[in-house]
Amino acid sequence: MSEPLRIYVAGPYCPHNCTTHEAIRFAAHNVDKALWFGLELMKKGHIAFVPHVSHFYHTHWNCDREYPWYAIDLTYLTNWADALFFIHGSKGADLELKTAQMLGLPIFNNLDKVPIVPESKRLKMMM
């Protein structure tokens, strides 16, 4: 029986070589796509970390653009994750993939290959 995995979702975030207007649209699309995969992983009973959520920090008026965002993401990957879900490549996602490979983490790139956690083993709401 499968236990819940803490799965880090790796995929493109910030587009390059495009106008500012296009970059905002592409980043929003990439965030939406990563969140979709994270939610699908959670539907299977796993715990998903989607670093793309920091997009909402990036777009906040009080955000320090020089904050080490990527170092924070890698902290979750190296100190928290049990596995990595790889959407597709980008400079950052490729580095995350290589890091996961060096750590010997299971790597998924297809939702059908991710095991389903039995209901009895899933996290429950605590109130």
Q: Indicate whether 110 pLDDT > 80.
A: yes
String of DSSP letters for 27-58? HHHHHHHHHHHHHHHHHTT-EEE-GGGGHHHH
> What does the pLDDT look like over 2-13, one tens digit per residue?
899 999 999 998
Do 19 and 92 form a contact (C-beta atoms < 8 A)?
Answer: no
pTM (predicted TM-score): 0.92
Do 12 and 29 form a contact (C-beta atoms < 8 A)?
Answer: no
In the chain, DSSP assigns E strands to: 6-10, 47-49, 83-86, 107-108
Residues forming a β-bridge with 49: 8
> What does the pLDDT look like over 13-64, one tens digit per residue?
887 787 877 888 888 899 999 999 999 999 999 999 999 988 878 788 898 7
pLDDT of residue 9: 98
Do 118 and 40 form a contact (C-beta atoms < 8 A)?
Answer: no
pLDDT of residue 1: 55
Q: Indicate whether 115 pLDDT > 90.
A: yes
